[in-house]
Structure 1
C-alpha cells in the first residue's frame, strides 16, 4: 500500500504523513549531533513548550547525555527555532517475556514418535535419541 498515493486523496492523511516525515528528519539530525556511541540509545519524541524531548533507552545513556548536553545545546538549537532547551526522559524498552512451551502432543502422536524412534535406532541413532527426548519431555503422567 502506497501511503503517499492515499495521502493525495485525503488532506488529513497528507498532513499526518508530512508531520511524520518532519519528525523523522529531526530525529536523524539530532542523532547526527549526538556522539555515535549514544545515538542508537535515543529517539526524538517531540518539542513541547520549547523543550526538545529525547527518550533514552536506559538510565546510563540518559546520564551520559545529560553530562554532555550543555556542549550540544547550541547545535541542537540550530535544528529548529523553537528549541530552547533539551529534556531527557527514560523510557526503557519492555523486557521480553520468558517464553514457555505450550505445545501439547496427543498420546497418539507420542506413541508414533516412540515407534519411529525404535525403528530408527540402528540407522539413525541421533535422530532416534532426539525423538525419545521429545517423547519424554511431553509425556503426561496419568492423573489419579
Structure 2
C-alpha cells in the first residue's frame, strides 16, 4: 500500500479497513510487548523488545549480550506466563540485535569574534560571581578552538 497515495486522495472503504486492521495489529503488539516487559525484572525491560511470533515461537530482541544471556536463563521459567499472554506462543527465543552507537554530537554553534569579545569582557566584569565568570571564559575558550 502506498501511503503517499492515500494522502492525495479520498480513502476507499477497502483502504480504510486495511488501515484499521493495521492499527489494531499495532495495538495488539504494543500490548503484548508491555505485558512481556511486565514479566521481566525492571532492570531488563529497557533492553528487550518483542519482535514477532514465528511458528509458535515468541522472538524477543535484546540490545546487548548481558541482557540476552540473562533472558535466555529466564525464558524456561517464563514460558507458562508467556503462553497465558497469547495462546499461539509455544516456545520463546531471544535474538541479539545490538543498538547502533549514538552519533557523535557536533557543536554547530559558531559565534562571531565580536560576540566572543563581549562574553570575555562580561566574564572580566563578573569577578564577584566567579562560577559564572569561569563558565563564560570556558565558553569563549571552546569557541576559539
Q: Which has the larger radius of gyration?
A: 1
CA contact (8 A) 2:111 2:143 kept: yes
| Residues in 1 aligned to 2:39 and 2:121: alpha-carbon distance in whole angstroms | 64
- Distance between the aligned counterparts of 1:129 and 1:33, measured in 2? 49
2:109 aligns with 103
Q: State how 1:1-144 maps to structure 2 within 5 Å.
A: 10-118=16-124, 120-121=125-126, 124=129, 126-139=131-144
Q: In the comparison of the two structures, how many residue pairs are matched?
A: 132
Deviation at 1:50, TM superposition (A): 1.9
Where does the alignment leave 5 or more consecutive residues of structure 1 unmatched?
1-7
Alpha carbons of structure 1 residues 72 and 115: separation in structure 2 relative to 1, 3 Å: closer
Deviation at 1:35, TM superposition (A): 4.1
Name the CA shift for 1:111/1:46 in 2 (closer, same or farther; >3 Å): same
Is the contact made by 2:49 and 2:62 (CA closer than 8 Å) also made in structure 1? yes
**TM-aligned CA deviation for residue 88 of structure 1:** 0.4
Note the aligned Cα RMSD (angstroms): 2.8
1:63/1:134 Cα in 2 relative to 1: closer, same or farther (>3 Å)? closer
Instruction: State the TM-score, normalizing by the size of structure 2.
Output: 0.71
Q: Distance in 2 between matches of 1:15 and 1:129?
A: 59
Uncovered stretches (5+) of structure 2, i.e. residues with no partner: 1-12
Distance 1:76 1:114, change over 3 A: closer
More deviation in 74-83 or 12-21? 74-83
TM-score for the superposition, normalised by structure 1: 0.71
